[in-house]
């Protein structure tokens, strides 16, 4: 039955070939073959996932002597199900959306090939197959983004995306080379088993193999998942067709989280690498969110929102919550795909009517008019700080009583607490006929989200990493010294609470001190508006390199 993995991989390729070959005779109807192929792919992927859920043990299929190994395990089957599902939605949406576009059949052929490359990546069982799929995804994305051959800007940004992706391919290739030289095999399960038995193996210049390869894999993941300094391609790919944006933001950009999960057996043997992963994710999440707020174009704002979400996903890996990152990438894929596919409709409707009801929420958020009658601040502060913490602790205690021993879980609890408290803090001054009813509804919603998130992420943990010892090792690899950890948590709590107090004070005392702050604020806004000058820096570097190339050509007389 593992042979179904091959069927799942081949179906989109066959659909692409059939669509291409029948396009001259069937014209636009040829894309129905493509859709049929993806429906079948999704059905077989669901069957594979069902088999794993039913308890069928993990296995592999070897199509070649040294490479061409395909894995049949929880991670690959789950990801194949997600990829084929999102691809199916994008295919169906594109049928009408792209109907008037030139190269209609070509678009579906490329979508099919991209689906095949993504499926190959998630089921790759050796380093060469993984490299091939990783590389092909970048190339196919270039052609999908540049589908409109009349648009030069689409091709310019597609080129930039390709270049960033190729930059990300190289660390993965180096990591593959180091692992092959150390153990003499390309097979991922073999490499992981050798590394587990000899975690102190050294590589070039006496460097530890595990840390070096994990760092390189993380770098490859950063480029693919648009982490800060490698993010510039993401918001500028909006010249591509909307279904491609949806596929990219829902499926392709998440590959970084998948890659770190695939190399989890390497990361558990490292010391300190996951801390850097956390740091990069944190910086990306903060900067992505700030940049998103500064945009006035819905698609670009969604692009930066994806960057922020990818930061969170990488951060989850950094705290050792690997399976949570997979859950996050699936959840993000679904909601971001929906947003992209709906963006056109929203823009069209907003041209006639902004659709925003002039209710209490509007007067509070847009007009910033707060309630006339204030509640006792001490009571509200206590609710703000305590209630989210109680809900979060109880929810996590339901699934694992020892979660306080895991630093990663505490970090995520902290983020949950900040989010919940911020929500209550920012809404309790809303105009409402019954403030307690409003608060009650907020708390019920928060509880449902937290309990749902906790239960589902726990189920993902058990499914993807059934071995409890391995799960603990991931958290240990991500952990830091307890005293430092406690000190950081206390410091961050103080910073957040002081921030709330400052915001409360500013609201209560009107415009005092505003002039002094506004100059600082304007400088910061300029910096954000210029996207921290990263794109300009890269453009200048590119121009410099091209000028050197031209001078060399002239100097060497074009020979």
* DSSP assigned state of 443: H
Count of positions on this chain that bind another protein (CB under 8 A): 49
Q: How far is the CB of 382 from another protein (least distance, A)?
A: 57
Burial letters 93-122, b for 16+ CB under 10 A, else e: bbbebbeeeeebbbbbbbbbbbbbbbbbbb
Please identify which residue in the block is written with the tokens 């019920």.
444
Q: Between 152 and 370, whose beta carbon lies closer to another protein? A: 152
**Among positions 170, 356, 366, 441, the unique one binding another protein when judged by CB under 8 A:** 170
User: Is residue 66 involved in binding another protein (CB under 8 A)?
Assistant: yes
Residue 428, phi then psi, degrees to nearest 5: -70, -15
In terms of Cα–Cα distance, which of 229, 250, 237 is closest to 299?
237
51 binds another protein (CB under 8 A): no
* CA distance linking residue 325 with residue 384, whole number of Å: 28
Q: How far apart are CA 241 and CA 225, in angstroms?
A: 20
Alpha carbons 404 and 419: distance in angstroms, whole number: 19
Among 54, 57, 65, 378, the residue binding another protein under the rule CB under 8 A is: 65
The alpha-carbon radius of gyration of the chain (Å, integer) is 25
Binding pattern for the stretch 92-111 against another protein, x by CB under 8 A and - elsewhere: ----------x---------
27 binds another protein (CB under 8 A): no
* 553 interacts with another protein by CB under 8 A: yes
Q: Crossing angle, helix 127-145 and helix 152-183, to 10 degrees? A: 180
Phi, psi of 54 (to 5 degrees): -75, -5
> Helix-strand-coil percent breakdown of the chain, rounded to 5?
80, 0, 20
Q: Rule CB under 8 A: say whether 238 interacts with another protein.
A: no
Per CB under 8 A, the segment of 62-70, 381-389, 466-474, 504-512 that binds another protein is 62-70
Closer by beta carbon to another protein, 350 or else 546: 546
Q: What b/e readout covers 64-79, taking b as 16+ CB neighbours within 10 angstroms?
A: eeebbbbbbbbbbbbb
Region of 169-177, 265-273, 373-381, 446-454 interacting with another protein (CB under 8 A): 169-177
**Residue in 273, 262, 272 with CA at minimum distance from that of residue 326:** 262
Q: Does 131 bind another protein (CB under 8 A)?
A: yes
Among 1, 6, 152, 494, binds another protein (CB under 8 A): 152
Task: For residue 178, give the nearest of 65, 66, 266, 273 by alpha carbon.
Answer: 266
272: left (phi over 0), alpha (psi -120 to 50) or beta: left
Binding to another protein by residue 132, rule CB under 8 A? yes
Please, are residues 20 and 32 in contact by the beta-carbon 8 Å criterion? no
For residue 141, the tally of other CB atoms under 10 A from its CB is: 25
The answer to whether 162 contacts another protein (rule: CB under 8 A) is yes
What is the Cα–Cα distance from 390 to 386, expressed in whole angstroms? 6
User: Which range of residues in 144-152, 254-262, 317-325, 454-462 is near another protein by CB under 8 A?
Assistant: 144-152
Here the tokens at position 479 are 């952990």
For another protein, give the closer residue by CB, 67 or 465.
Answer: 67
Span from 41-49, 157-165, 484-492, 529-537 in contact with another protein (CB under 8 A):
157-165
The token pair at 489 is 């948590």
Of residues 528-547, those binding another protein (CB under 8 A): 545-546
Of 188-217, which residues contact another protein (CB under 8 A)?
A: 204-205
Least Å from the CB of residue 127 to another protein: 10
CB of 133 to another protein, least distance (A): 8
Identify the residue among 42, 44, 72, 142 touching another protein (CB under 8 A). Answer: 142
Is 559 an interacting residue with respect to another protein (CB under 8 A)? yes
* 156 interacts with another protein by CB under 8 A: yes
Smaller CB separation from another protein, 155 or 249:
155
Minimal distance in Å, beta carbon 176 to another protein? 7
Shortest reach from residue 148's CB to another protein, in Å:
8
Pick between residue 63 and residue 441 the one whose CB is nearest to another protein.
63
Nearest approach, Cβ of 171 to another protein (angstroms)?
9
Distances (CA, A) of 425 to 84, 206, 273, 382, 496: 41, 52, 36, 11, 12
Tell whether residue 177 is a contact of another protein (CB under 8 A): yes
- Does position 150 interact with another protein (CB under 8 A)? The reply is yes
The helix (H) or strand (E) run that includes residue 59 is strand 59-62
Residues at the site binding another protein, with contacts judged by CB under 8 A: 64-67, 102, 128, 131-132, 135-136, 139, 142-143, 146, 149-152, 154-156, 158-159, 162-163, 166-167, 170, 173-174, 176-178, 180-181, 186, 204-205, 545-546, 548-550, 552-553, 556-559
């Amino acid at each position: 039955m593992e042979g179904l993995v091959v069927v799942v991989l081949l179906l989109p390729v066959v659909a692409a070939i059939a669509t291409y070959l029948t396009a001259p005779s069937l014209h636009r109807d040829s894309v129905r073959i493509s859709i049929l192929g993806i429906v079948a792919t999704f059905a077989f992927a669901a069957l594979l996932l069902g088999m794993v859920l039913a308890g069928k043990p993990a296995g592999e299929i070897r199509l070649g002597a040294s490479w061409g190994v395909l894995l049949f395990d929880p991670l690959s089957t789950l990801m194949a199900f997600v990829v084929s599902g999102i691809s199916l939605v994008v295919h169906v949406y594109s049928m009408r959306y792209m109907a008037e576009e030139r190269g209609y059949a070509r678009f579906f052929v490329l979508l099919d090939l991209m689906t095949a490359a993504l499926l190959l990546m998630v089921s790759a069982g050796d380093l060469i197959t993984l490299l091939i799929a990783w590389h092909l995804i970048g190339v196919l994305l270039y052609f999908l983004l540049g589908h409109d051959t009349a648009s030069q800007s689409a091709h310019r940004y597609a080129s930039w995306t390709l270049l960033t992706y190729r930059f990300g391919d190289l660390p993965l290739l180096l990591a593959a080379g180091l692992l092959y030289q150390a153990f003499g095999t390309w097979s991922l399960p073999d490499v992981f088993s050798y590394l587990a038995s000899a975690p102190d193996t050294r590589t070039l210049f006496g460097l530890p193999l595990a840390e070096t390869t994990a760092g390189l894999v993380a770098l490859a993941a950063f480029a693919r998942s648009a982490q800060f300094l490698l993010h510039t391609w993401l918001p500028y790919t909006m010249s591509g067709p909307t279904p491609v944006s949806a596929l990219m933001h829902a499926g392709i950009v998440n590959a970084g989280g998948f890659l770190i999960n695939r190399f989890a057996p390497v990361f558990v043997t490292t010391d300190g690498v996951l801390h850097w992963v956390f740091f990069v994710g944190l910086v990306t999440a903060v900067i992505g969110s700030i940049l998103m707020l500064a945009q006035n174009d819905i698609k670009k704002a969604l692009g930066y929102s994806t960057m922020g979400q990818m930061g969170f996903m990488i951060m989850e890996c950094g705290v050792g919550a690997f399976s949570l990152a997979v859950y996050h990438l699936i959840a993000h894929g679904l909601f971001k795909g929906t947003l992209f596919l709906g963006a056109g409709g929203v823009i069209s409707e907003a041209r006639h009517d902004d659709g925003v009801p002039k209710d209490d929420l509007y007067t509070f958020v847009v007009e910033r008019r707060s309630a006339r009658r204030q509640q006792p601040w001490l009571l509200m502060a206590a609710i703000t700080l305590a209630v989210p913490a109680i809900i979060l602790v109880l929810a996590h205690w339901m699934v694992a009583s020892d979660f306080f021993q895991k630093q990663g879980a505490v970090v995520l609890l902290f983020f949950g607490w900040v989010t919940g408290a911020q929500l209550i803090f920012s809404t309790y001054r809303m105009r409402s006929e019954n403030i307690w009813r409003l608060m009650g509804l907020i708390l019920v919603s928060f509880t449902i989200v937290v309990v749902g998130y906790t239960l589902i992420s726990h189920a993902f943990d058990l499914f993807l990493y059934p071995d409890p010892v391995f799960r603990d090792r991931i958290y240990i690899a991500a952990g830091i010294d307890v005293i430092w950890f406690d000190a950081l948590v206390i410091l961050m709590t103080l910073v957040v609470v002081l921030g709330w107090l400052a915001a409360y004070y500013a609201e209560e005392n009107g415009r005092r001190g505003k002039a002094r702050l506004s100059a600082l604020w304007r400088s910061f806004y300029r910096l954000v508006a210029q996207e921290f000058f990263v794109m300009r820096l890269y453009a200048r570097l590119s121009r410099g390199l091209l000028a050197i190339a031209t001078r060399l050509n002239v100097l060497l007389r074009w020979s």
